[in-house]
């Protein structure tokens, strides 16, 4: 059983406040220190948006968004093309230099092996073995193996620059590749052993 609320007496004061029209919560210190930074930012953004809505029509805002998006895409595409071209140029030059050095080393070994076989010299078997091993190690997939290069094309091995102020040149990167250093040393010993003159030119 529910009892109705008691009737107010003259000596009692009852206040009724409509929640819809109730005043917002008031912070007495806001006038002194102001609202916090987040509230200021939100107010500024909403103000800018309302200003933008009043100044620009919906069609203008749509075109602005479209041009911004297209400009961003165009910039990304141009940047990628420029980066790819620069990367290709550098990679091509380095690959060509490594290929020339590998070819020269193999050519020296092939020439020594052929000369020793033609003259029936006993040491030809040793040079033939060197040539066989060099042919396996101086292949493209071995020279460009992951142990020597990072995913973005930089070398992992130590390189001493020979350019001005210690600048690293493409020739330095190719010459100091671990496989090139190994075979360059082995072939130099064979050249010295047989007293070959590499300065002679073919007629």
User: CA angle 189-195-200, nearest 5°?
Assistant: 110
Looking at residue 196, its pLDDT comes to: 79
Tell me the CA end-to-end span of the chain in Å, nearest whole number.
126
Phi then psi for residue 155, to 5 deg, are -85, 145
User: Domain map of the chain by residue range?
Assistant: 90-193
User: In Å, what is the CA distance from 195 to each residue of 111, 112, 135, 189, 199?
Assistant: 14, 11, 23, 10, 12
Q: pLDDT at residue 86 above 80?
A: no
Cα–Cα dist 169/162, whole Å: 7
Of 41 and 99, the structure prediction assigns the larger pLDDT to 99
Q: Are 64 and 56 in contact (CB under 8 A)?
A: yes
Burial class (CB in 10 A: 0-12, 13-18, 19+), 69: exposed
Q: What is the gyration radius of the CA atoms in the chain, in angstroms?
A: 40
Q: Residue 6 pLDDT more than 50?
A: yes
pLDDT of residue 41: 47
CA gap 57, 65 in Å, rounded? 12
Is residue 202 pLDDT above 80, yes or no?
Answer: no
- Choose the most confident range, by mean pLDDT, from 14-18, 33-37, 90-94: 90-94
Which residues lie closer than 8 Å to 108 by C-beta, 6 or more apart? 187, 191, 198
pLDDT digits (tens, 9 = 90+) for 46-82: 545 555 555 667 777 777 777 677 776 777 666 666 6
Checking if the pLDDT of 29 tops 50, the result is no
Mean pLDDT, to the nearest integer, of 30-58? Answer: 52
Q: What angle do CA 160, 161, 165 make, to 5 degrees?
A: 130
């Amino acid at each position: 059983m529910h009892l109705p609320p008691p009737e107010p007496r003259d000596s009692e004061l009852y206040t009724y406040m409509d929640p819809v029209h109730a005043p917002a919560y008031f912070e007495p210190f806001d006038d002194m220190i102001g609202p916090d930074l987040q509230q200021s930012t939100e107010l500024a953004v909403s103000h800018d948006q309302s200003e933008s809505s009043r100044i620009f029509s919906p069609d203008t805002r749509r075109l602005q968004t479209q041009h911004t998006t297209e400009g961003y895409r165009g910039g990304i595409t141009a940047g990628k093309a420029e980066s790819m071209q620069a990367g290709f140029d550098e990679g091509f030059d380095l690959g060509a230099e490594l290929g020339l050095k590998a070819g020269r080393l193999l050519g020296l070994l092939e020439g020594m092996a052929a000369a020793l076989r033609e003259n029936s010299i006993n040491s030809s078997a040793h040079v033939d073995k060197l040539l066989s091993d060099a042919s396996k190690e101086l292949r493209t997939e071995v020279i460009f193996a992951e142990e020597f290069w990072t995913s973005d094309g930089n070398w992992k091995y130590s390189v001493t620059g020979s350019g001005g102020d210690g600048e690293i040149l493409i020739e330095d990167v190719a010459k100091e590749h671990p496989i090139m250093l190994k075979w360059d040393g082995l072939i130099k010993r064979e050249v010295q052993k047989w007293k070959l003159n590499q300065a002679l030119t073919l007629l």
